[in-house]
Amino acid sequence: MKRPEPFEIFQPASIQEARELHIHHGPGGYFLAGGTDLAIAIKEKGLVPRYVVDLKRIGSLSGIRENADGSLVLGALATMREVEISRVISRRFPFLSQSAGEVGSIQIRNRATIGGNIANATPSADVVPALLVLEAQVTTSTQNGEKQVPLESFFLGPGKTVMERGDILTEIIIPPASANLRGEYIKFSPREMMDLAYVGVAVALLTDGDENVCREVRIALGAVSPVPMRARKAEAVLVNRVINEESAERAGEAAASECTPISDVRASAAYRRHMVRVNTKRAILNAVCGRPGNLPWVARRERRY
């Protein structure tokens, strides 16, 4: 495997310093978080940075905390593994922990960060659909100060976001959510582990009473459009209706009709579309079943429907 061409690594202690380094040294610089994308881009795809600014010495970028109002703040440098095993996340949003646990291996997840994953804007990123159904916001540090944007409007295309050169993603905010919110994430990929999603489906919903009348629902899809997307037509099918196999099937059909998958080495567009229909239905029905308590990491993966 190819070795990196020479470059310098700076380790600033603050966001301000990091931005200044980037301005001072000019083009050809890359911010480094976990490095699981950057190192591979350098080794495999021939990327040659002139210099790298390592963000890991900036303390304010790490950690996961719960605010008094119930919102959650995920530092951009929180690792995928931290998101996966965080007590507060696995208690409140187990499907988000699971989506983080679907990424790569434990070795990768100990390095890969949630901020890096979002900033790289891969259409198949596993945590993004789960964050979209939680209506997460993204905070970035820009030359005009801090900006907050909904995650949904953060992505512009594969590898492209609203961030400009020198901007730093600082945190992801999950707004307060009802304690009765139930959710699910299904990663559909040919292998159980160490693979990218053909299709990712996340669902979060609130129901009324024993009849499972849907009060609020959010559905998001990964890997089937240029950017991870909300499936609003599918959501509209479910609102104020009883959730059962039939309505879930119709929501699945709606989701399949509104996504815009491509054909590539992994799967054809038609197959992906079909799998959106199947897995959206599954995710909705799984979400309604709920998850039995705090399960260990592995048990979370089982498919119940």
Partner 1 sequence: MQCVAVPAIFPGWPGERGDINKKIRITLNGQERILEVVPYRLLLDLLRDEMGMTGTKEGCGTGDCGACTVLLHGKPVNSCLVFSGELDGADIVTIEGLKIGPELHPVQDAFRQDGGAQCGYCTPGMLMMTTALLRENEQPTEEEIRFALSGNLCRCTGYAKIIQAVQRAAEMMREKKITEAKG
Footprint of partner 1 (CB under 8 A): 1-9, 11, 32, 35-36, 39-40, 43-44, 50, 52, 54, 56, 81, 104-108, 110-111, 192-194, 296-299, 301
Give the shortest CB-203-to-partner 1 separation in angstroms.
Answer: 24
Backbone angles phi, psi at 193, to 5 degrees: -140, 170
Tell me whether residue 61 or residue 243 sits nearer to partner 1 (CB atom): 61
Closest separation in Å from C-beta 42 to partner 1: 8
Q: Measure the CA dihedral 71/285/219/138, to 10°.
A: 30
Shorter beta-carbon distance to partner 1: residue 57 or 160:
57
Helix (H, G, I), strand (E, B) or coil at 49: coil
User: Considering beta carbons, is residue 189 or 207 the nearer one to partner 1?
Assistant: 189
- Which CB atom, from 57 or from 65, has the smaller least distance to partner 1? 57
Cα(254)–Cα(270) distance, integer angstroms: 15
The burial class, CB within 10 Å (0-12 / 13-18 / 19+), for 153 is exposed
Which residues have C-beta within 8 Å of that of residue 205, sequence separation ≥ 6?
A: 181, 182, 183, 214, 215, 216, 217, 218, 238, 243, 284, 287, 288
Q: How far is the CB of 119 from partner 1 (least distance, A)?
A: 17
Q: Tokens for 198, please give them.
A: 């053909």
Least spacing, CB of residue 11 vs partner 1, in Å: 7
| Residue number with CB closer to partner 1 (3 or 165) | 3
**Residue 185 C-beta: closest distance to partner 1, Å:** 16
8-10 sheet: strands from edge to edge:
8-10, 51-54, 29-32
